[in-house]
Every structure is written in C-alpha cells, then in structure tokens.
Amino acid sequence: MAVVNREISKKAAEIRKELGHNFRDVMVEDIYKDAEAIAQKAVTIKSARQYDFDQKVDKILTSPIFGIPIMGALLALVFWLTIVGANVPSALLADGLFWLEDQMAQGMQLLGSPWWLTGFLIHGVYKGLAWVVSVMLPPMAIFFPVFTILEDFGYLPRVAFNMDWLFRKAGAHGKQSLTMAMGFGCNAAGIIATRVIESPRERIIAILTNNFVPCNGRFPTLIMLSIVFVAAAFPPAVASLVAAGTVVTIVLIGVLTTLIVSSVLSRTVLKGEASSFTLELPPYRKPAIGRILYTSLIDRTLFVLWRAIIMAAPAGGLIWLLANISIQDQSLAMWIAGWLNPAGHLMGLDGAILLAYIVAIPANEIVVPTIIMIYSHAGTMLDITQLDQLRALLVDQAGWTMLTAVNLMLFALLHNPCSTAILTIWKETKSVRWTVIGALMPLGIGIVVTFLVAQIWRLF
C-alpha cells in the first residue's frame, strides 16, 4: 500500500511540474466555466428590480452628503438604545442578584458556616460574579442583536466602504471600522469579528488595536467620571451635554490612537505580511429577526458572558481576600495600595486605582466598586449611587483632583485588555508574539500617556 502511495505522489509531483506556474488561474477559470453552464440551465433571473433597488439605496448610504451623517446617527441610536434600554434591567438584575446574596449569606449563617467561608463564597466569589453579570448582560443583550440587525440588512459593508479611505491611510482595512464598532460591545467579540478581514496583515492590525475602543465594561467608569468630575464643573443646564461630550471625546481619542497605532504597526513589524483588499457589498435583505436573536444571544452574548463569569468569579474571591486579610490592623488591599502609591502618583493616579486595575484584569466592570471598597475600608465591593456621597468619598477623602479623573479616563481607555480578550487574541492568532504584543502594547501606551499628562499638568 505504502509503495503505491509513494508512486502516486511521485506521479502527481511529475504532472504538477508540467502544469506551470499559473495552473491556479486555469483551474478557477474552468470551475467558473462549469458553474456558468450549470447556472444557465438551472437559474432564471426574473427581473433586475432587486439590483436597481440596491443601487438606489447605495447611492444614498454612500453619498458624500448623507453617508457619514447616516452612519453617525445609526451609531448614536445603537448606543442610545443600549445605554437607556439597559438601565432598568441592569438595576433590576443587580437588585435581584444582591438580594440573593443576602439571602444566601443568612442561609449559610443559619447552617453554622464560619464568617470567613460565607464571606469568601458569598461576598467574594458570588458578588464578583453577580456584579459582572448585572453590569454586562443587559447592554450586551441589547447591543449585539441591534448591531446584528444592521449586519443582516447589509448596511455594515457600506460603512466599511465609506470609511475605507481613513483606514487605507493607516495601512488597515475598511472593515476594521466594523470590528471596532463590535468592540464597543465587547473587545473579545470585536477580536473574533476580525475574521471578516481576509487579509492577514490587516487582520492582525485589527486584532491588536481593538482594545483602544472602550467596551461596555469600561463605559460605566467613563460615564461616572464624566458626570462626577467634568460635568460638575459646568452649570446644571449644560452638565449632561458636557458629560456626553466628554465620553465622546474619550472615544475619539481611542479612535485616533487606533489609527496611529495601526499606521505604525503596518509600517514596522507587519511590513512584510501578505495583504489584499476586497469588500463585498451584498444585496440588501430584510433582516431575519428570529435568527438574529438566536445567533446574537447564543453566539455572542452567552458565549462572552460565560467566559467573563469564569474569569470574574475567582477575581471576586481574590478581592474579598485582599480586603479581609489583615496584617497589623491593616487589610492586604491597603498595604498593596500603599506600595503602589508612588507608581500611581507618577501616573497621576494612586495605588488604590492601580490595584483595582490589577485585580480587574479578568473583568473591567469591577474597577470602580473595588476602588470604592478600598477607600471606604469596606470588606466587599461597594457601589455608591448618590453622586454627592461619591464625590465626598473620592474628592474629600481620597483626594482626587481633575487630573486623577482625566488620567483615570485615559487609563480606562488605554490599558491591557481583560483576560478574556487576551485569551481571544491567542485563540485567533495562535501566536505567543501577537498575544504578548496585544496585551502589553496598550498598557505601555497607557502608562506613557498618563505619565506625560501628569507631568505636564503639574507644571501648571
């Protein structure tokens, strides 16, 4: 058998040598010829109405006047639906899950469990999990289906077409605008979405820069800071407008960083990587709502949520341990925050913030609750919904200034991806090199940027 196989391979090699270098061209041409012959017999095209309709819609959606405004309006609408629509379910979910926390804690106490076991399991592991679920689930359950409707309708490739000029200049692919938009929902989902970019170089660029788009786990931090610090400095009449403007500014800084980093990557480490550009503009279709709900809930929301839960539960346990193990009357969290203070000060932040970012590597949703926990010497993660109280804690007690707020917003935008996103980079590239660069490059940029801002700020 083996002998026959070898003979066959040898024969195949010989024949292949006679084919010449353009055998692929010839093969594809032949396949198309056959396909055309079959299609001519089997397919009848009734009318060109669909095509004419597509042409008309394309004219509007890609027009120099309406193209960009329509895109901006739809993006704003998606955000508005996500943020407003998620508010109530998020609050309900949080109430329910935290009510359950109390019930379970009481139950365990009745069963005679020691306080540290109850604390670790319920106020640590469970709380971390509940927190991430209540912050993350509602926005994702809204954002992904809405985004998928636009995808299914056929609108997204038109966005890629309109935005390509910008990305071409940065050595990237127009479709990167879509993976970035997906990154607003979740960077891990955005990284998976880069599969639509068929060109290896542009795909790696899109993967490595996706983290410069703030995901919905980071949005609450940005919104809170822009309300408590930036907007508070303006009269109430324009405050909410200023808050929104601040968040948009941060997002734009992220987009600018993406373009700059893309451009640098494509001209340096990725210079030799193969590259090609094609973009199909499919016919417009009526979105299949049922299928959309199914795919976006199962494929994206639940998938991402499951990974986050796996990551968040241990983080919750760790945070509880840090807050409840005391050495010389001071919790471990306080000690570590103290050690990190000098580094934090250099970056215009402080030790507690850095510690929160380290323990929140699994899930960025718990950054602010952890910071509040450390400042208020609490034993578990805390949320303060009253803005005055929050301001009192952060400004009067922890000594935050406008610099702290600005740099925290910058650092929320520019730091290492969460562990789910890092794992996803590894799964998508199967390369240690790209995973390490994808994890450390944003962190390095974040450290440099916050450091420079802090130094310049203090000059004045």
- Whether residue 222 contacts residue 412, with contact meaning beta carbons closer than 8 Å, is answered with yes
The answer to whether 387 contacts other proteins (rule: CB under 8 A) is: no
Shortest distance (Å) from residue 428 CB to other proteins: 18
Among 7, 10, 11, 19, binds other proteins (CB under 8 A): 19
Nearer to other proteins, 32 or 80 (CB): 32
> What is the rounded distance in angstroms from the CA atom of residue 147 to the CA atom of residue 150?
5
The answer to whether 22 contacts other proteins (rule: CB under 8 A) is: yes
Instruction: Give the CA angle between residues 45, 51, 55 to the nearest 5°.
Output: 170
Nearer to other proteins, 154 or 348 (CB): 154
Q: How many CA atoms lie within 13 A of 381 on its CB side?
A: 29
- Whether residue 425 contacts residue 441, with contact meaning beta carbons closer than 8 Å, is answered with no
Among 44, 278, 328, 386, binds other proteins (CB under 8 A): 278
- Whether residue 304 contacts residue 216, with contact meaning beta carbons closer than 8 Å, is answered with no
End-to-end CA distance of the chain: 83
3-state SS assignment for residue 290: helix
3-state SS assignment for residue 1: coil
Shortest distance (Å) from residue 459 CB to other proteins: 40
The answer to whether 8 contacts other proteins (rule: CB under 8 A) is: no
Nearer to other proteins, 266 or 404 (CB): 266
Contact range with other proteins by CB under 8 A, out of 277-285, 329-337, 384-392, 427-435: 277-285
Nearer to other proteins, 200 or 245 (CB): 200
Among 123, 201, 203, 300, binds other proteins (CB under 8 A): 201
Shortest distance (Å) from residue 192 CB to other proteins: 21
> What is the rounded distance in angstroms from the CA atom of residue 212 to the CA atom of residue 43?
47
Nearer to other proteins, 15 or 111 (CB): 15
Contact range with other proteins by CB under 8 A, out of 27-35, 140-148, 391-399, 400-408: 27-35
- Whether residue 410 contacts residue 253, with contact meaning beta carbons closer than 8 Å, is answered with yes
Which helix (H) or strand (E) is 330 found in, with range? strand 330-331
Q: What is the CB neighbour count within 10 angstroms for residue 232?
A: 17
The answer to whether 16 contacts other proteins (rule: CB under 8 A) is: yes
Among 24, 41, 49, 433, binds other proteins (CB under 8 A): 24
3-state SS assignment for residue 327: strand
Contact range with other proteins by CB under 8 A, out of 21-29, 230-238, 321-329, 447-455: 21-29
| Of residues 352, 330, 332, 333, the one with CA closest to residue 341 | 352
Among 279, 297, 318, 395, binds other proteins (CB under 8 A): 279
Instruction: Give the CA angle between residues 319, 446, 373 to the nearest 5°.
Output: 25
The answer to whether 49 contacts other proteins (rule: CB under 8 A) is: no
Nearer to other proteins, 58 or 383 (CB): 58
Nearer to other proteins, 38 or 88 (CB): 38
Among 29, 34, 95, 102, binds other proteins (CB under 8 A): 29
Please list the residues that pair with 331 across neighbouring strands. Answer: 326
Q: What is the CB neighbour count within 10 angstroms for residue 287?
A: 17
Nearer to other proteins, 2 or 13 (CB): 13
Of residues 255 through 274, those in contact with other proteins by CB under 8 A are: 271-274
Q: What is the DSSP letter of 281?
A: -
> What is the rounded distance in angstroms from the CA atom of residue 143 to the CA atom of residue 189?
12
Contact range with other proteins by CB under 8 A, out of 59-67, 186-194, 342-350, 380-388: 59-67
How many binding residues for other proteins (CB under 8 A)?
Answer: 45
Q: What are phi and psi of 327, to 5 degrees?
A: -120, 125
The answer to whether 168 contacts other proteins (rule: CB under 8 A) is: yes
Task: List, in order, residues 6 or more apart from 93 with CB less than 8 Å away.
Answer: 133, 134, 137, 138
Of residues 98 through 117, those in contact with other proteins by CB under 8 A are: none
Shortest distance (Å) from residue 318 CB to other proteins: 33
The structure tokens 């109530």 sit at 88
Shortest distance (Å) from residue 268 CB to other proteins: 13
The structure tokens 């508005």 sit at 80
The answer to whether 164 contacts other proteins (rule: CB under 8 A) is: yes
Shortest distance (Å) from residue 42 CB to other proteins: 14
The answer to whether 52 contacts other proteins (rule: CB under 8 A) is: no
Which helix (H) or strand (E) is 264 found in, with range? helix 236-267
Judged by the rule CB under 8 A, the positions of this chain that interact with other proteins are 13, 16-17, 19-25, 28-29, 32, 54-55, 58-59, 62-64, 67, 161-166, 168, 174, 198-201, 271-282
